[in-house]
Amino acid sequence: MLWLRRTIFAARVLAAVLTVVAADVASAAMLSVGDTFPTWTLQDQTGKDVSSSDLAGKTYLIWFFPKAMTPGCTAEGRGLRDQYEGFKKKGVEVFGVSFDEPAANAAFVAAEAFPFRLLSDRKHTLALAVGAADSPEQPVARRISYLVGPDGKVLKVYESVTPAEHAGQVLKDI
């Protein structure tokens, strides 16, 4: 009888854990084209607040990257830097987002001469809202991007990003 009680208890614990995991995964769903991008305010690498309300009427690319100064993130950032004039000509602002502190992002910007701002989502709030993180404890952001239109609606979703090719792919889509 003790064996049966332990088995039932274990099954209940497993069901509770799976329910929590399913809720986390559901909250981390990617947005779709046409969805309204969530409002946000994050600090850039200088400690200045940047807000989605500051971007009303503008098109912007927001790219989530795992960690400043790592090989894939550096390749992606360099590609965006090297094609930044193309983004400017098309009226698109570029923002990188990671869980790094502003100081780490500042060092990344300085080391790579990025002409765009890097934002710190230290509480994972925006990342959780758009599917770049599954939980507040996730150590790094998922490598995804969104192109957001002047009306705040998602124009394009980049669910799978190849760092070295991302900038060209986005420019082609604009």
Rounded CA separation 17/106 (Å): 39
User: What are the strands, taking DSSP E only, across 49-144?
Assistant: 49-51, 59-64, 92-98, 117-120
The residue annotated as part of the active site, out of 42, 50, 61, 73, is 73
Tell me, yes or no, if 138 is annotated catalytic.
Answer: no
Q: Residue 128: in which H helix or E strand, if any? A: helix 125-130
Rounded CA separation 17/13 (Å): 6
Handedness of CA 75, 77, 79, 81 (dihedral sign): negative
Active site residues: 73
